[in-house]
Amino acid sequence: MESGKFVIAAQEAEAMAKTAGVAALKELLPLLVPTAQRLARPPISNYPVGAVGLGTSGRIFLGVNLEFPGLPLNHSVHAEQFLVANAAAQGEAGISCIAVSSFPCGHCRQFLQEIRGAGEIQILVTSDEDAAFRPLSSLLPHRFGPFDLLHKGIPLLLEPHDNDLGSVESAVIAGGGQEVYEGIEKEGIQQRLRAAAGAAAKASHAPYSGCAAGFAVADGEGRVYAGSYMESAAYNPSLGPVQAAMVGYVAACGGVGGEYRGWGIFAAALVEKEAAAVSHDGTARIFLEAVAPGAHLNVYRFRSSATV
């Protein structure tokens, strides 16, 4: 298993299953959990969690927990959320099974409800004495979920979203403001950040508030990573666009096992709705202050042509 890989293509997954001598792909998942754990970044708890999921496409996705010192704990990303955000960013249509290093907490059991057919997602906990796959419905019986608030035709998480952003009003707000890009052309980066955040906003899952949002970050070499806001019917377990972008960043870079490097973010862009009931502007600012002081943030607010 190549360290640092957060997505395993279907063919490679099958080859690995053969090599490992397991009958079905899903039996491979628990074997990959320890590797996933080693990629986790939880400097507050030092409690690494690894999650490995099998997509309906046959691809395997990894998820790890992320913690950000200096911020409230609701900025943390759980391994199961990382896994789902990772899969969503890769256009995966469904998750059938997940193996994870410790029991999903209630927050995650709730977040997973955003996926259609969540009840049938098979979950295996490697730390369990009798580790075996069981349906998510057995871990969150009598659930509260999307259909308590939405009608059945609304797209759920991992289904195609194409939110109407209308006209993007450029409301540029300077964040730490040094705008040092170490020789990389500033305008090019800003445009790419804006485009990436805009695309992420278009694909975001925000059916409860109607407030689509996307975030993008750029590293010192001008690479751009973006993430889409993912709302939960239960509100609080929602994954912020900033967190989703960090998932994109970690998943692309792979991280280095056991070593917590700095984040190296130089610039960022937030695309969200004007006068939004749910706004990430302030939270993005404090996130960058803690995680990447000096990084420049541009905020773009759009006005939907349709009322959501």
Partner 1 sequence: MEEKPTRSTVGKFVIEAEEAQAMAKESGVAAVRELLPLLVPAAQRLARPPISNYRVGAVGLGASGRIFLGVNLEFPGLPLHHSVHAEQFLMANANAHGEPGIRCVAVSSVPCGHCRQFLQEIRGAAEIQILVTSDEDPAFRPLASLLPNPFGPPDLLHKDAPLLLEPHDNELGALEATGVAVGGGGSCNGIRGGGLERRLREAAEGAARSSHAPYSGCAAGFAVADGGGRVYSGSYVESAAYNPSLGPAQAAMVACLAAGGGREGGGWGIVAAALVEKETAAVSHEGTARIFLEAVAPGAHLKVYRFRPSAAV
Q: From residue 173, how far is each of 177, 263, 271 by CA, in Å?
A: 9, 22, 12
Q: How far is the CB of 256 from partner 1 (least distance, A)?
A: 22
Kindly state the smallest distance separating residue 30's Cβ from partner 1, in Å: 16
Instruction: Name the residue nearer to partner 1 (CB basis): 76 or 96.
Output: 76
Whichever of 42 and 53 has its CB closer to partner 1, that residue is: 42
> How far is the C-alpha of 139 from the C-alpha of 129, rounded, in Å?
16
Q: What three-state secondary structure class fits 271?
A: strand
80 in catalytic set: yes
**Strand intervals (E) in the chain:** 7-8, 50-55, 60-64, 95-100, 122-125, 134-135, 167-169, 213-219, 224-228, 265-273, 296-303
Closer residue to partner 1, CB minimum distance, 161 or 192: 161
CB of 136 to partner 1, least distance (A): 10
- 192 or 280, CB closer to partner 1? 280
Q: Which of 12, 27, 67, 80 is catalytic?
A: 80
Residues 215, 190 contacting (CB under 8 angstroms): no
DSSP string, 176-212: S-----TTS-HHHHHHHHHHHHHHHHHT-B-TTT---
Q: How far is the CB of 73 from partner 1 (least distance, A)?
A: 4
Site of interaction with partner 1 (CB under 8 A): 44-45, 47, 67, 69-74, 76, 78, 102-111, 113, 125, 128, 138-144, 148-149, 208-209, 231-238, 240, 276-280, 282-283, 285-286, 289-290
Active site residues: 80
